Chain A
Amino acid sequence: MPSVLKGNFKTEKTVEVHDVVDDSIEQRFEKEALKHLGGSVCFVAKKQVDWGSEKDDGSKKDSD
Chain B
Amino acid sequence: MTEGDFGLQLLERMNELTLLRHGGTCFKNAEENRQHIKKGESLVQLRKLSKNSAIGSGASAIIIAAGPSVRKQDPASQIRASGYQGAVICTDSATSYCLRSGLIPDLIVSVDPQPSIIRWFGDPELSRSEVEANDYFRRQDLDERFIGKDEIQANDELLELVDLHGKKLRIALSTTTHPQVVQRCLECGAQVYFFNAMHDDPDQEGSITSKLQQENGLPAVNAGGNVGTLCWVMATAVLGKNPVALTGIDLGYYEDTPLQRTQYYDAIRSLVNEEEVGRFFMKIHNPHLDQTFITDPAYHWYRDAFLQMVLDEPSETWNCTEGGILFGKGISFRPLAEFLSKFEAMGEALPERKGAA
- A: which residues have CB within 8 A of B? 30-31, 33-56, 64
Judge whether A40 and B271 touch: CB under 8 Å.
no
Judge whether B222 and A34 touch: CB under 8 Å.
no
Chain A residue at minimal CB-CB distance from B17: A38
Q: Hey, which chain A residues are within 8 Å of B209, CB to CB? A: 44, 50
Given known A34-B17, A37-B268, contact A43–B301 (CB-CB < 8 A)? yes
Of the stretches B118-126, B155-163, B195-203, B318-326, the one at the interface is B195-203
Judge whether A36 and B219 touch: CB under 8 Å.
no
Judge whether A33 and B267 touch: CB under 8 Å.
yes
Of the stretches B55-63, B77-85, B230-238, the one at the interface is B230-238
Q: Hey, which chain B residues are within 8 Å of A37, CB to CB? A: 10, 14, 17, 21, 264, 267-268, 271, 280, 296-298
Judge whether A33 and B271 touch: CB under 8 Å.
yes
Bound together, the chains give a CA A50 to CA B296 distance in angstroms of 30
Judge whether A50 and B213 touch: CB under 8 Å.
yes
Judge whether A34 and B198 touch: CB under 8 Å.
no
Judge whether A50 and B219 touch: CB under 8 Å.
yes
Bound together, the chains give a CA A52 to CA B267 distance in angstroms of 37
Judge whether A48 and B202 touch: CB under 8 Å.
no
Of the stretches B41-49, B66-74, B95-103, the one at the interface is B41-49
Judge whether A39 and B221 touch: CB under 8 Å.
no
Judge whether B197 and A42 touch: CB under 8 Å.
yes
Bound together, the chains give a CA A53 to CA B200 distance in angstroms of 18
Bound together, the chains give a CA A51 to CA B200 distance in angstroms of 15
Of the stretches B144-152, B252-260, B305-313, the one at the interface is B305-313
Summed over the interface, the residue pairs from A and B with CB atoms below 8 Å come to a total of 145
Judge whether A38 and B271 touch: CB under 8 Å.
no
Interface string of B94-113 (1 = CB under 8 A from A): 00000000000000000110
Chain A residue at minimal CB-CB distance from B268: A37
Question: Which of B15, B176, B230 counts the most chain A CB atoms within 10 A?
Answer: B15
B220: interface (CB < 8 Å): yes
Question: Which of A34, A36, A42 counts the most chain B CB atoms within 10 A?
Answer: A42
Judge whether A35 and B17 touch: CB under 8 Å.
yes
Judge whether B226 and A40 touch: CB under 8 Å.
yes
Q: Hey, which chain A residues are within 8 Å of B213, CB to CB? A: 50, 52
Chain A residue at minimal CB-CB distance from B48: A56
Q: Hey, which chain B residues are within 8 Å of A31, CB to CB? A: 20
Q: Please list 17 pairs of residues, one from A and one from B, whose beta carbons are closer than 8 Å in the complex, sorted by A's number.
A: A37-B21, A37-B280, A37-B297, A38-B19, A38-B21, A39-B15, A39-B18, A39-B302, A40-B226, A41-B225, A41-B227, A42-B19, A42-B200, A43-B14, A43-B18, A50-B202, A50-B220
Judge whether A40 and B223 touch: CB under 8 Å.
yes
Q: Hey, which chain A residues are within 8 Å of B219, CB to CB? A: 49-52, 54-55
Chain A residue at minimal CB-CB distance from B42: A54
Please give me the 8 A-B residue pairs with the lowest Cβ-Cβ distance, nearest first. Answer: A38-B21, A36-B267, A38-B17, A38-B18, A35-B20, A48-B237, A43-B305, A43-B225
Judge whether B222 and A40 touch: CB under 8 Å.
no
B134: interface (CB < 8 Å): no
Distance in Å from the Cβ of A19 to the closest Cβ of chain B?
Answer: 25
Within 8 A of A (CB), among B241-275: 264, 266-268, 270-271
